[in-house]
Amino acid sequence: MKYLIRILFIAVVILVAVGYYFKNSGDHPTGDKWVGIGILAASFILMPLFIYHRWKNKKVKDYMLTEENLKKMRDFKPEEKTDKN
């Protein structure tokens, strides 16, 4: 999955770069088309795949503010650091 995400990211960057190349060379409609395709691919293909990849096998309850987690936060006391001279 991570290789697919990397390949898609590189493809999106290439699409946007090609689009800006066309825009700088004077062909604005073609450049806008390639930049748009790159942004759409990033928004509707790359981002959902990335989010799914990062969140699979995670417990959503660990990231929610439940009473149990609020109690853990209230009771949490970090260890005090002491200076050793």
Number of folded domains in the chain? 1
The answer to whether the pTM exceeds 0.75 is no
Which domain range does residue 70 map to? Answer: 2-75
Identify whether 80 is part of a domain: no
Report the distance separating Cα 7 and Cα 1, nearest Å. 10
Determine, yes or no, domain membership for 45.
yes
Per-residue pLDDT of 65-74, as tens digits, reads 889 888 888 8
Whole-angstrom distance, CA of residue 34 vs CA of residue 65: 43
Q: How confident is the model at residue 84 (pLDDT cuts 50, 70, 90)?
A: low
Residue carrying structure tokens 């990211």: 9
In a domain, 83, yes or no: no
